[in-house]
């Protein structure tokens, strides 16, 4: 069981939770809305774990995970989980993610007669499962072409918070764009840190991430750009919340950790040093989402 917990990569799960919290902020916490948020959270976590398993599977199968990795050893790389067992786990988790998403859409859309919206969201959910698998697994995975950042922003940055916001309000406003700018790019920052850490081994195995394409220095500057947009988005959210106490607390905390993090990253001189910042960004984004939840 410990190996499966490691394969789930618990330190990435706060990010999935954060995307849900940013979508749920400001709602009326009645029974229906609470049920929708809980179902959305369970679905997002299941999909994140499925993505992590698929990443372990795909990178091992394609030779990207070997003894030269800087980060934590993967379970398939270490031989702790077999290809057969991981394949079964992927089938179970993929099916579970679909069922959970279907239940979410049933309570939020079918029960109120929004059948067209249901079909649209169901299609997006199926695409999300496909994207989670095809990041590094399957033939010609898009993560090996430098498209991982784009897909993470699309599905974890846009679909999760904006999709939940729509399920709760049946409308979209300007605040969700700023929420996307913050939590979406925070998720991308975690992936980019991972890719900057693994840049040399990825390049050696043909995994052409954006970090590989840009090189060490320009990758750090791109990370700085992501962080700057997060800062501007947090300031915008504070403004739209009319400088309430909760929003000011969210803004102050977010500015603090983002500025400190960016200064540290821009000063890093060795790839292995990026690893420590992965947990910093994931947990800080999670705390920011809790603070914003009460805005």
Domain spans of the chain, in order of start: 2-293
Place of tokens 């040399």: 200
d(CA 51, CA 3): 16
**Per-residue pLDDT tens for 153-179?**
999 899 999 999 999 999 998 889 999
**Per-residue pLDDT tens for 55-64?**
887 777 766 5
**Per-residue pLDDT tens for 29-68?**
999 999 999 999 999 999 999 998 888 877 777 665 555 5
- Contact in structure between 41 and 20 (CB atoms under 8 Å): yes
**Per-residue pLDDT tens for 248-289?**
999 999 999 999 999 999 999 999 999 999 999 999 999 999
Quick one: tokens of 262? 């960016």
pLDDT tier at 74, thresholds 50, 70, 90: low
Predicted model pTM: 0.91
């Amino acid at each position: 069981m410990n190996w499966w917990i490691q394969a789930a990569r618990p330190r990435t799960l706060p990010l999935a939770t954060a995307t849900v919290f940013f979508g749920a902020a400001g709602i009326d916490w009645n029974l229906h809305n609470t049920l929708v948020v809980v179902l959305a959270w369970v679905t997002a976590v299941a999909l994140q774990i499925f993505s992590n398993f698929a990443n372990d599977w795909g990178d091992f199968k394609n030779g990207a995970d070997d003894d030269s990795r800087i980060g934590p050893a993967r379970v398939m790389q270490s031989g702790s989980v077999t290809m057969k067992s991981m394949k079964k786990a992927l089938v179970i988790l993929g099916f579970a993610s679909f069922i959970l998403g279907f239940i979410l859409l049933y309570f939020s859309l079918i029960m109120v007669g929004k059948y067209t919206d249901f079909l649209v969201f169901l299609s997006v959910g199926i695409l999300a499962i496909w994207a989670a698998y095809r990041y590094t697994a399957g033939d010609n995975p898009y993560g090996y072409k430098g498209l991982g950042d784009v897909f993470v922003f699309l599905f974890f940055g846009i679909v999760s918070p904006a999709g939940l916001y729509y399920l709760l309000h049946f409308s979209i406003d300007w605040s969700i764009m700023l929420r996307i700018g913050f939590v979406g790019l925070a998720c991308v920052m975690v992936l980019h840190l991972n890719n900057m850490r693994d840049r040399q081994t990825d390049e050696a195995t043909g995994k052409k991430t954006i970090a590989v394409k840009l090189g060490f220095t320009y990758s750090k500057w791109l990370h700085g750009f992501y962080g700057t947009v997060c800062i501007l988005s947090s300031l915008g959210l504070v403004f739209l919340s009319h400088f309430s106490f909760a929003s000011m607390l969210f803004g102050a905390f977010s500015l603090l950790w983002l500025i400190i993090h960016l200064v540290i990253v821009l000063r890093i001189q060795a790839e292995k040093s990026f690893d420590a910042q992965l947990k910093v960004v994931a947990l800080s984004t999670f705390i920011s989402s809790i603070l914003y939840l009460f805005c």
